[in-house]
Amino acid sequence: MMKHTKKDWLLAGLTGVSLFVILLLLFVLLGQIVWHGAPVITAEFLSESPGADMISGGIWPAIYGTVFMTLLMTLAGVPVGIATAIFLTEYASPRSRVAKLVRIAVNNLAGVPSIVFGLFGLGFFIIFVGGSLDAILYDDPRPVWGKPSILWASLTLAVLTLPVVIVTTEEALRQVPGELRDASLALGATRFQTVYKIVLPNAKGGILTGVILAVSRGAGEVAPIIFCGAANFLPYLPTDLRDMFMHLGYHVYALATQSPNVDAARPTLFGTVLVLLVLTFSLNLLAVIIRARSRAAIRS
């Protein structure tokens, strides 16, 4: 090992400071939210509907709406994402045009701004798909499908989270050793049997990680659902796919920017943010744990 000179210390110090700044900001952020948010969280806060002023009462409809929407999103998006990853790793040859095109599309999809997804959800799902359904099924000028609803919001977010599922699943499939595939094929199994019986079971952990990461990303996105179905204030729970819904993130946005008395709303706001953070972080943590476990299992 060599001796460090003054300039070495300087560079290490400067780069170390930038790391310190980031960690400090993260610490302050989490600290503030837990510090102000934790006292607000009571059983009533979690289980009651908000009052008419949106400040009093609880946030149960928002929690319920977020979870419901996330479930729908997962049901719609995850199978497609996993299928795409299987196609890319197991079927398409790396040089194939289609595979290249799919990869480019996935990368670009990941970079599309979330607000553009909102416009897409409005222009495609609500106006085009919903509007067409209404025109075909009903004579009534009042929209049944062609209006913001939990279904369209979930589908929009499913498209948004698709790249996350695809990229992480692809990574998980690539970690399955090639020897396993070769052995299976050599024994006379077809390609599909190999994928279904050998590759997928071995990549289960990694795939689950991807799914959870996507869910956590989708649960926190607000911009796409502003026009696609999130409601400002809705004291009842959505029971139908065509209902609008309350959402934790949207609730934070609405309360923080549109409330006439922001100071009075402060405690409720911090409490809501804390709930949202706990929801997304516990999902992230779960993903990290599962990933670590599945990696250890593959190594051994």
Partner 1 sequence: MTEQVLDAGEPAPAPVTRRRVTLRPRRARSKLESSFRTPWWHRAAERTIAVFALTAIAAIALIFIFIAREAIPMFWEAEFAEEVQIRDLFMAKEWHGYDDPVFVWQPVGEPAKFNVIPLFVGSLKVTLLAMLMSIPLGIGCAMFIALYAPRSVREVVKPAIELLAGIPSVVLGFFALMVIASWAQATFGFRFRLNAVVAAIGLALTIVPVIFTISEDAIQSVPKTLTEAALALGARKYQVALRVVLPAAIPGIAAGVVLGFGRAIGETMIVLMASGNAAVMELFDFSTSVRTVTATIAAELGEVAQGDPHWRVLFLLGVMLFGVTFFLNIVGDLIIHRLQKKLTAS
- The residues in 87-146 that bind partner 1, with binding defined as CB under 8 A, are 87-88, 91-92, 98, 101-102, 104-120, 122-124, 127-128
Q: Which is nearer to partner 1, 226 or 239 (CB)?
A: 226
CB of 37: closest distance to partner 1 in angstroms? 11
Residue 8 tokens read as 């070495």
162 contacts: CB under 8 Å, gap ≥ 6:
77, 80, 81, 84, 106, 109, 214
Write down the least CB distance from residue 212 to partner 1, Å.
Answer: 11
Q: How far is the CB of 294 from partner 1 (least distance, A)?
A: 17
| Burial bucket for residue 41 (CB in 10 Å: 0-12, 13-18, 19+) | middle
Beta-carbon count within 10 A of 124 CB:
15
Strands (E), 157-263: none
The answer to whether 194 contacts partner 1 (rule: CB under 8 A) is no
- How far apart are the C-alpha atoms of 296 and 193, rounded to whole Å? 25
Binding residue for partner 1, selected from 74, 84, 161, 268, defined by CB under 8 A: 84
One residue of 147, 174, 266, 295 binding partner 1 per CB under 8 A: 266
Q: How far is the CB of 30 from partner 1 (least distance, A)?
A: 9
Burial (CB count <10 Å: 0-12, 13-18, 19+), residue 8:
exposed
* 262-299 vs 60-86: helix crossing angle, rounded to 10: 30
Is residue 252 a contact residue for partner 1 (CB under 8 A)? yes
Closest separation in Å from C-beta 164 to partner 1: 11
How big is the chain, counted in residues?
Answer: 300
How far, in Å, CA of 33 to CA of 281, rounded? Answer: 13
Q: How far is the CB of 178 from partner 1 (least distance, A)?
A: 18
x/- string (CB under 8 A) for partner 1, residues 207-236?
---------xx-xxxxx--xx---------
Q: How far is the CB of 148 from partner 1 (least distance, A)?
A: 10
Q: Are 252 and 223 in contact (CB under 8 A)?
A: no
Q: Which is nearer to partner 1, 150 or 158 (CB)?
A: 158
Site string for partner 1, 168-187 (x = CB under 8 A): --------------------
Of 150 and 230, nearer to partner 1 (C-beta) is 230
Task: Show contacts of 70-73: CB within 8 Å, 24+ apart.
Answer: 70/154, 70/157, 70/215, 70/218, 70/219, 72/150, 72/151, 72/154, 72/155, 72/158, 72/241, 73/154, 73/155, 73/157, 73/158, 73/161, 73/215, 73/218
Nearest approach in angstroms of CB 191 to partner 1 is 8
Q: Which of 24, 32, 71, 204 binds partner 1 (CB under 8 A)?
A: 32
Contact letters for partner 1, residues 279-298 (x by CB under 8 A): -xx--x---x----------
User: ∠269-275-279 over CA atoms, to 5°?
Assistant: 145
Toward partner 1, which CB reaches closer, 126 or 150? 126
80 binds partner 1 (CB under 8 A): yes
The interface with partner 1 within residues 42-71 (CB under 8 A) comprises none
How many residues touch partner 1 (CB under 8 A)?
A: 91
Q: Indicate the residue among 236 and 281 with the shorter CB distance to partner 1.
A: 281
Residue 224 per-residue DSSP state: G
